[in-house]
Amino acid sequence: MGQEPQGPFREQVIRRISRKAGFAGALTAVLLAAGCAPRDYYVNTQAQLDSLLVMQSDIVKHLASLDRKVESTREGVQTTRASSDTRLNEVAQRLESLEGKLEASDVRFTQLSQKVDTVKQKLTAADSARVAAGGRPDSSLGADPEAMYQAAYSDYLSGRFDLARAAFTEYLRRFPATEVSDNAQYWLGECLYATGDFAGAIAEFEKVQQNYPKGDKVPAALLKTGISYARLRNMGEARRYFDLVVKKYPKSDEARLAKERLAQKG
């Protein structure tokens, strides 16, 4: 932005024009008084004087217009600055709010991590004790069915299928009628399937439906029975179990997977 026109500058311009106009007028008056000024010269001088006066008026108007523009620009800058300050304050407040939320999230994440570490330590301790005992179920877990189930499931997830199989078998012997007994029976079949014993897996999967017909693992057990038969190249029995899943549990995820298997050729 250029330098703003100042009031004194405008006044100085006006004074200069006024002085020129006054000088021209005075000169004309002197010449006329002396009788030595021709009339044409007077007319020309008067015309120049009129032009100067008109020019002075135009300059005054132009300067007034510049003043108004400068004032408008100054007000616009002030308004923009005020708006920017308000937005900066809003952004600062939002940042402070986000920082507070991040700190709260960090605290919750730390607490969750501590809980996970505690569970891992318990499972690791139980696994170590059982391995040290030659793979036999830890008798110290016998009074706590949940801990015993979680230890067996931890073995399965870790790929220790033989150890998990023994642990699930012991769990079912001690706790055959808990809320997760059907799960234990199902994972027992998965342990055998994972080691390639498909015939043994079929026998364990069928026990899920036989012993826990109302359990939520029945659809998965039926589907996995069909898949085990398919691995044994017995496609007749495999398709029979796939059809059973679709008919008995048509809205389940297992039914969707069974339909995909039935759609396959061979």
Q: Tell me the pLDDT tens digit for each residue of 157-176.
A: 999 999 999 999 999 999 99
Q: What pLDDT, in 10s, does the model give residues 189-245? A: 999 999 999 999 999 999 999 999 999 999 999 999 999 999 999 999 999 999 999
pLDDT of residue 2: 47
pLDDT of residue 69: 80
pLDDT of residue 182: 97
Mean pLDDT rounded to a whole number for the chain: 78
Which of the two residues, 12 and 31, has the higher pLDDT score? 12
What is the C-alpha to C-alpha distance for residues 189 and 180, in angstroms, rounded to an integer? 14
Which pair of tokens denotes residue 78? 């002030």
Q: What pLDDT, in 10s, does the model give residues 21-32? A: 555 555 455 445
Tell me the CA end-to-end span of the chain in Å, nearest whole number: 82
Q: Which residues contact residue 135 at a Cβ distance below 8 angstroms, ignoring those fewer than 6 apart?
A: 162, 163, 166
Kindly indicate the confidence band of residue 81, based on its pLDDT and cuts at 50, 70 and 90.
confident
Domain boundary assignment for the chain: 7-90, 133-263
pLDDT of residue 18: 57
What is the C-alpha to C-alpha distance for residues 185 and 205, in angstroms, rounded to an integer? 7
pTM, entire model: 0.51
Instruction: Report the run of H or E that residue 222 belongs to, with start and end.
Output: helix 218-231
Amino acid at 246: V
The position carrying tokens 């809003």 is 90
Please provide the CATH number assigned to the domain covering 133-263: 1.25.40.10
